[in-house]
Chains A and B, each alone.
Chain A
């Protein structure tokens, strides 16, 4: 296929292909264990995050298929389900308890393990050293620890699926009292303890990673790579890390209090509770306190998930339009504004908790303000591709899909941000539709775009394009078919997190629609398996990359050898002389960052 540009061997490639190996550095012999398992090479760690994330995406996706079957076909019996899930699907019918467990695990896994660890963990790790011109992270050892904490967190979470009382089932937000009282539900017992241990390990992993990303971006840039010459990907990863480092500890403090409520008899979140007619002794606590602590992380978290996708989309849109990014400084400014605002809007998740309406008004204002930097970004993406020489690679398609989804999902955010409208919309399918489109699917698209685009750098081979196009189109159409109708259900008041809707006459009208949604969800899930097949097949059998810079891009990662070793560049780290977006300038297709500014060059 015609992905490769023909101008690769122009003067813009400044680092010779295979420079001689520097003997005096000495070959340290790497065993299988240090090279692939306990590796400190940021590129290997990135792949470890990616593959672990893909495992979780597959499992989390499978969960959603199973509970969608329940929602679409509440009366049907699936004997195979009993074979697969045993007690959970007695008589081939998913049990209510199992339904809640699956919904909870789906949310937890997708938000934290796939779209946080799988996304930032993969691409911050992979791209930060390569694009700022560093041999590795500031602390490769801490970086390795970051992965292994994530790995252990994964094992613990996975193990909670196999305990007798089942995994936690009180929703991904883990509100007390369901999360604080073991007697509240089966999933609130061991399952919740494992959930907490796993999440605590996960927070440690995120913090170790985030510290490293920040330190690397600020301290390890190569000569000439000033902050304002960094690609937007790096800016996005940087702000993502800042968000994580400042908000995860607050969640952690909330978890500590929760652990004490669960096991040591404190009453931070508990007050006046009856279980089975029995009054509990706890007094003076407040469940709302947990919500504040949770959403103080929770809202920044949604941007932790989104910003990397934004950064990668910016880069991929520019490269594949053969045009400079429009409004580079405005892009950084809006990332910055989003980062600040992300800390100031958490209570928009709590409009109906009895929040003081006066306070609510401020949160409405600040929430709606986010629309401004978001709109700036959208405007700049559209003007970047405007009249460009667009190359519709799979990566580019996913980046375009990302922009489309971000617009659609962002618009519904403006509905929800109004506290008065939110009284009707809160906890309905409207919210589900909103955040799946704007965060879930959009960030998945950012991730897919990143994988298709940087796969050649990761594995020295291409992903299969035809499979890529199939993957894109079915996922794109499918995502809208799944989530668009949910807006209508939500506007009609259909609540989320319900096992069955048969007691409501008014929601009977959505029976067929729910079937439709479930069927599309299954198809989309199957296409993701196709992608995973493509991924692994191409590692060994994909078309080989034969040129250093297959996309004709300006950034530094394409100046490394096709299969870079630990340390990335064979010789000196190249020096940087310009920003990353000189495409189509002065009649040149692209000018790499390593090319000195010529005497007669025009300004950008």
Chain B
């Protein structure tokens, strides 16, 4: 194993970060698929757009705030301020959970207003696209939680910034993706 790891070449970017960049391209294509399907369908007769629930504005604020905290957490890690780091990571996790919660509340609201799978094609798109995004946020929450517990494990005196930078990059990505989706639904409606 060791043999495999010792790369003779100095790398410009951490390999995980690089792989994540490619994965981001890949995930973006999935949402490009979803949203272009939405556009194609929205041009057809009988299309009734959905009103974006008000609480999704709050989701947006939470998401942007969490991007700030994860950014600060990365800086704290670089400065070896572990207490601060833990605090900021937990703040990010909580903001992320709050985001998912507001999404869920928005869904229930819509569903109560008869925007259901069988009643509304636009609504179905809306649930699935934002739902799949929320799943990606959930994945990020899991990753951050792992980092959080790792930071408590005092045995590892190994302060690598790579994991938090990778997780942070992913988090910024789901943030930007959310803003794209949010603006998209506001405009195409």
Interface residues of A (CB under 8 A from B): 25-26, 28, 40, 134-136, 138-140, 142, 207, 210-212, 214-215, 218-223, 245-250, 252-254, 256-257, 260, 264-268, 281-286, 289, 292-293, 296, 566-567, 572-573
Contacts and interface: CB of A to CB of B under 8 A. Distances in A.
A211 B23 contact: yes
B15 A138 contact: yes
B40 interface: yes
Contacts of B13: 219
Contacts of A136: 4
Interface of B: 1-4, 6-9, 11, 13, 15-16, 18-19, 22-23, 25-27, 29-34, 37, 40-41, 44, 46-47, 116-118, 121, 124-125, 128, 132
Max chain B C-beta neighbours (<10 A), residue from A249, A256, A265, A283: A249
Given A246-B29, A253-B30, A257-B128, A292 B9 contact: no
Contacts, number: 124
A215 B27 contact: no
Given A214-B22, A215-B22, A573-B8, A268 B121 contact: yes
Contact of A28 (B1, B116, B117): B1
Given A138-B15, A221-B9, 7 more contacts: A139-B15, A219-B18, A246-B26, A266-B117, A266-B118, A268-B37, A283-B46
Nearest to A140: B4
A252 B121 contact: no
Contact of B33 (A221, A222, A249): A249
A133 to B, nearest CB: 9
Contacts of A260: 117, 124, 128
Given A220-B7, A223-B9, A267 B118 contact: yes
Nearest to A212: B19
B133 to A, nearest CB: 12
Contacts of B30: 249-250, 252-253
Nearest to B32: A250
A267 B117 CA distance: 8
Nearest to A134: B7
A572 B6 CA distance: 11
Contacts of B16: 139
Contacts of A289: 37, 40-41
Task: Give 7 closest A-B pairs by Cβ, nearest first.
Answer: A249-B30, A250-B33, A253-B33, A567-B3, A266-B124, A284-B121, A266-B117
Contacts of B8: 222-223, 572-573
A249 B19 contact: no
